[in-house]
Amino acid sequence: MQEIAAESLSFMPFTKIKKGWMLVSAGTPTKCSTMTASWGGFGVMWGKNVSAITIRPQRHTLRFLEQNEEYTLSFFEEKYRSALNYCGSHSGGENEKIAKAGLTLVPNEPVPVFKEASLTLVCRKLYRQPMDPAGLNKADDERWYADKDYHILFVGEVVKALQK
């Protein structure tokens, strides 16, 4: 993977996240957790290029996000869809999810980087906030939060972009 400037990225975030999905990962290559996500966003905040991700409180990956200052967002070609399906339907707390999904972590990286990813964004946490249901549209609250398991929002500065 080659490091590129975040400003030179030319992907469509709505398509990449909603239809292509991504892996949200935190920890180190020897002890990490990853999960599939189809929600999130990118923008500029506090003069920095940022990502915004939301994680439900029951997700195993949340503990790793809480304990580490950086996380990665990894994007894959369509041929890895089954691996992303696996990572989205199995808990990392129960098995060797990454290996069973057929994915490989790149050694000697301080954060989880997947050999198979076409693009990896390394993000440093800037902000964390549990969602306040009082500020949520009622229809979306009823549709997405029947169990009242409101997401926790993380905003992170994109500090490195790695591309195949």
Q: How many CA atoms lie within 13 A of 81 on its CB side?
A: 6
Quick one: pLDDT at residue 138? 95
Quick one: pLDDT at residue 92? 74
Domain of 150: which CATH number? 2.30.110.10
Quick one: pLDDT at residue 18? 87
Positions of the chain with pLDDT lower than 70, given as ranges: 93-95
pTM: 0.93
CB burial of 109-128 (b: ≥16 within 10 Å; e: otherwise) equals bebbbbebbbbbbbbbbeee
Beta bridge partners of 163: 2, 119
Give SS3 for 82: helix
Task: Please give the helix or strand (H or E) that residue 59 lies within, else none.
Answer: none
Sign of the dihedral defined by the CA atoms of residues 13, 18, 22, 27, in that order:
positive
Quick one: pLDDT at residue 94? 59
Quick one: pLDDT at residue 20? 87
Q: How many CA atoms lie within 13 A of 71 on its CB side?
A: 30
Q: How many CB atoms lie within 10 A of CB 44?
A: 8
Q: How many CB atoms lie within 10 A of CB 54?
A: 15
Domain count, the chain: 1
CA distance 77 to 37: 15
Quick one: pLDDT at residue 95? 61
- The helices-and-strands tally (H runs, E runs) of the chain is 5, 8
What is the pairing mode between strands 152-163 and 48-55?
Answer: antiparallel
What is the domain extent for residue 109?
2-163
Sign of the dihedral defined by the CA atoms of residues 121, 38, 75, 84, in that order:
positive
